[in-house]
Chains A and B, each alone.
Chain A
Amino acid sequence: MEQLFHVAPYTGYVYPNETVIPWTVLIAVYPYMTGLVAGAFTVSSLYHVFGIQKYKHVARFALLTALCFMIFVPAPLLLHLGQPARALNALITPHLSSAFAMFGFFAAFYVCLVALESWFAFRVDNVARAKSSTGVRRLFYRAITLWSDDVSEKALAFDRKWLYVLAVVGIPGAHGLHGYVGFVFGSLKAREWWGSDLMPVIFLFSAVISGVALLIVLYVVVSWIRKVTIDQDCLKGLTQTLWGFLMFGVLLEVVEFANLFYQGEEGIELIKEYVTGPLFVSYFVLQFGIGAALPITILTVMIFRKTSGRAFLVGTLVSAGLALMSVFMMRWNVVIGGQEISKTMKGLLDYHLPFWGREGLLAAICVLIAPLILLWILTRLFPPWEPTNQRASTSVTEALSELPYGTAPKEV
């Protein structure tokens, strides 16, 4: 019979039960996804709440991105559970002392919130689409608008009010959800590598980094596919946001690391051995070096030299890609790294990522790609771009051109 578990090789002394690593790559994917959600939502809120006009172009796309990733956030968890059919037990009888008990409620609340916000953000467009289409398509958009085609000024004011309220509530919602994921790890005293007060804050900053970086990559790629010109103001704004958060995020991690070392509590020798040995490449090289220091340098040089045009585009795209990798490595180094350091503080384990299986590399890749496929479908059904969209059908363009764009707040 095939063995049901993977055994991790180790050095030194580890507790016998530790040789099977409990949390796998999927648990690294899970905070990565909630981070992308929080980051994408932040960008959307920069326009919907703070009225920063340069983000208008991607605001609704960011909202859809957050929605798609949030819908798939439970997927890595369900794949990981030993008894996924019982997952609802945590909702039916939440054990309130558990840092994880409220996750289901928060996640469900947040999905509803983003879905509702999206509904308001796309309502006017959907009404127009329902009017300009026929047959099943018309029925679909009619159903999506809940058979309400009221686009009077009063109704639009109502939409604007709710969009604003939902976006405002969504900010603590998105960041609370992700900070909470940081707390799930940071509150565990059994693991030296996790038990840190800074963990939720570090998670939050890296979330914004990853979300903004994802939007940069998606925006550039989607514009290329749609053969439309990129809004330079928007891209520059996103790039500057990425730059700022990257610097601050890295600083926070350095502070935490310095704190851990300077305190030098029991077991620090093992941690030193670990970070300079098995974790060196994924921690210092990938997360901090190539993933953070390099993009910070590229972005600093570009912003200082006021680079523009193709060079700026390439530089931004590369930096965003590296930042995405860096944040994933951060999740990996926290989740897998924390488990590779034995609770005995006398030994190190070595997690091997299998390719196949429910918790293998392939499953993790599928979980990460699924939201992008959903996003592709949703952007087809609900184009989030401005009505001047070159590829939009004439009828829709005409119908939309009679209406104010989306239901964004009035320009200040």
Chain B
Amino acid sequence: MKQEMSKSEAARRGFLHTVAKAAVAGVALLGARPLLGKEKTATAKSFPTAGYDWTKHRWAYGIDATRCIGCLRCVEACKAENGVSLDAHHFRTWVERYVYLEGEDRARVDSHSDPQNIAASGSEKEYRFDNRYKNKKVTKAFFVPKICNHCQHPSCVQVCPTGATYKTKDGAVLIDHDYCIGCQYCVQACPYGARFFNDEQGVTDKCTWCYHRITKGLKPACVEVCPVNARIFGDMNDPDSDISQFIRNNRVQVLKPETGNGPTCFYIGIDKEVV
């Protein structure tokens, strides 16, 4: 009887040893995985353009709200360039209209995705601001273009459970569409409403500053088409770039600074009402 007990104990011990070894091997493998991942990203620095070195740039974006005329060519260009679905609910960039009417101390706000504006344009695929204030006394009005702020401390990157969304060395916040699981936690976490769900691909989506263009030395599509230079883009490492001059020559602001996100989209000409 005693012998039998010890046999079963020995078998149990043997089994536990095997389990323990397997567990140690598993933990070691999991621990090594992030290191392997790091090596991979270091060698893939030329993404998405061959020869591009993301350690040599520090991109930033500027918006001069005093110049914007609300023509919405930027929205159109962005949708075309990036294949964003042509409806009123998915935008990598959009434009807001702020209007103060006489006797009112709060601005009335709308964007081109407002049903009234869509009715005016006749289609969700065309973008227009209607003329709803035609017979009203407007005391102040201005447009505010919006895009992803490519924050220095992005809350979307913080909350992503897989690391599919990440901050590049040159300052952009990107999403790996082949790795995103589509949980939309990042959509919730972004204070600026810059992210949306790409229903066709089952992943989240947002502005990339046209990363495929800027890495080739081109400007983002929205900057390229803006007829009044309300959108400015460039490399902060170059003191003569448009963006460096824009920041140097103006007193710039960022949106929702209290979040601590540290946006790298800088604004001039916005107002207390801007959200």
Q: Which of B19-39 contact A (CB under 8 A)?
A: 33-34, 37
Measured between C-beta atoms, what is the minimum distance from B240 to chain A in Å?
A: 35
Q: Which residues of B contact A343 (CB under 8 A)?
A: 191-193, 275
Interface-centre pick from A4, A15, A20, A345 (highest chain B CB count, 10 A):
A15
Segment at the interface with B among A64-72, A85-93, A278-286? A85-93
Q: Which of A334-392 contact B (CB under 8 A)?
A: 339, 343-346
Interface of A is mostly: loop
Q: Which residues of B contact A310 (CB under 8 A)?
A: none
Assuming the contacts A16-B94, A100-B159, A343-B192, asked whether A23 and B110 have C-beta atoms less than 8 A apart, the reply is no
- As a 0/1 sequence over residues 26 to 42 of chain A, the CB contacts with chain B under 8 angstroms (1 = contact) are 00000000000000000
B162 at the interface (CB under 8 A from A): yes
Nearest CB in chain A to that of B165: its residue: A95
Q: Which residues of B contact A84 (CB under 8 A)?
A: 181
Q: Which residues of A contact B8 (CB under 8 A)?
A: 150
A101 at the interface (CB under 8 A from B): yes
Assuming the contacts A22-B197, A188-B188, asked whether A89 and B113 have C-beta atoms less than 8 A apart, the reply is no
Interface of B is mostly: loop
Q: Which residues of B contact A103 (CB under 8 A)?
A: 161
Measured between C-beta atoms, what is the minimum distance from B260 to chain A in Å?
A: 8
- As a 0/1 sequence over residues 155 to 196 of chain B, the CB contacts with chain A under 8 angstroms (1 = contact) are 101111111100000000000000111111101111111111
User: What interface size band does chain A fall in?
Assistant: 35 or more
Beta-carbon contact of B180 and A90 below 8 Å? no
Q: Which residues of A contact B33 (CB under 8 A)?
A: 92-93
Q: What number of A-B contacts does a CB cutoff of 8 Å give?
A: 142
Measured between C-beta atoms, what is the minimum distance from B100 to chain A in Å?
A: 14
B109 at the interface (CB under 8 A from A): yes
Total count of chain B residues near the partner, CB < 8 A: 53
Measured between C-beta atoms, what is the minimum distance from B26 to chain A in Å?
A: 11
Q: Which residues of B contact A339 (CB under 8 A)?
A: 188
Beta-carbon contact of B163 and A81 below 8 Å? no
Q: Which residues of A contact B259 (CB under 8 A)?
A: 189-190
Q: Which residues of B contact A20 (CB under 8 A)?
A: 89-90, 196-197
Nearest CB in chain A to that of B108: its residue: A13
Q: Which residues of A contact B180 (CB under 8 A)?
A: 82-83, 86
Nearest CB in chain B to that of A99: its residue: B159
A98 at the interface (CB under 8 A from B): yes
Interface residues of A (CB under 8 A from B): 4-5, 7, 13-20, 22-23, 77, 80-84, 86-87, 89-90, 92-95, 97-101, 103, 150, 184, 188-191, 339, 343-346
Contacts A16-B193, A19-B89, A89-B162 given; 20 further ones with Cβ under 8 A? A14-B193, A15-B94, A16-B91, A18-B193, A20-B197, A22-B184, A22-B188, A23-B188, A81-B182, A82-B182, A83-B202, A89-B181, A90-B162, A92-B33, A94-B161, A103-B161, A188-B188, A344-B109, A345-B275, A346-B109
Query: Could you list 24 examples of A-B contacts with CB < 8 Å?
Result: A4-B199, A5-B199, A15-B146, A17-B89, A17-B196, A20-B89, A23-B184, A80-B183, A82-B184, A82-B201, A82-B204, A83-B203, A86-B181, A86-B182, A90-B181, A93-B34, A94-B161, A94-B162, A95-B161, A97-B157, A100-B185, A188-B159, A339-B188, A344-B193
